[in-house]
Amino acid sequence: MSNKLTYDITSLNVRGLREQSKRRKLFSYLKDQKLKLYFLQETYSEVNDEIIWRNEWGGKIFFSHGTKHSKGVCILIHPLVQDKIKYSFSDKFGRIVLITIVINSLMLSLCNIYAQNNQGEQLEFLQELNNCLIDKSELTTLIVGGDWNCTLSRNDKIGGKPWKATNYRNLVLTTMDILDLMDIQRERHPKLHKYSYESKVLK
């Protein structure tokens, strides 16, 4: 009988971490969650931030940098986690960061993404992401998370403009089918009404 592997991950759009007090509060909060991995989007990081942010976090951080005012993604590994990193990749646009990690002899690829709002740019991004995942990840043990700027079904949205399927949404589903990925939230909770973003008029 095989052992069940548990590896907890959370994903957050942080809307900028340039302010030191906000960044330190978030890092403290994340450590208190006692998870192993954290996917952050819209970090607004730059290359010269890496040393400071890693020192404040106390563990490994893998970046794809944006600008001081937009984009940026990173994967944080809890300081107490000592699993071996075999490979890392980041694009040049603050949209994709991918690592392959060894956990109990299992090679696991983890990819954090931040997609655009513009549908034309989304389609180009998705093609780049597909190429990245096929070329650089362990497809049989792959987890992709982040901010897709997309809802896959009517159940994922309330308020705002009426929901309708877009070309981008359809291609995301095609990608999921090709790479044998699933929407884990809907797989586990098919009827749950829970949202990753909320405002007065939109969820």
Percent of all residues in the chain with a pLDDT value above 70, rounded to a whole number: 98
In a domain, 83, yes or no: yes
CA 45 to CA 187: how far, in whole Å?
Answer: 33
In a domain, 171, yes or no: no
Domain that holds residue 40: 9-149
In a domain, 196, yes or no: no
What tens digit of pLDDT does each residue of 134-183 get?
Answer: 999 999 999 999 999 999 998 899 999 899 999 999 999 999 999 999 99
In a domain, 115, yes or no: yes
CB 150 within 8 A of CB 122: yes
In a domain, 18, yes or no: yes
In a domain, 28, yes or no: yes
In a domain, 201, yes or no: no
Report the number of distinct structural domains present in the chain.
1
In a domain, 42, yes or no: yes
pTM of structure: 0.94
Q: Which residue do the tokens 């603050």 mark?
A: 94
Beta pairing class for 61-64 and 73-77 = antiparallel
Q: What would you measure as the largest C-alpha separation in the chain, in angstroms?
A: 50
What tens digit of pLDDT does each residue of 35-84 get?
Answer: 999 999 999 999 999 999 999 999 999 999 999 999 999 999 999 988 89
113: CATH: 3.60.10.10
Q: Is the pLDDT of residue 21 over 80?
A: yes
3-class SS of residue 73: strand
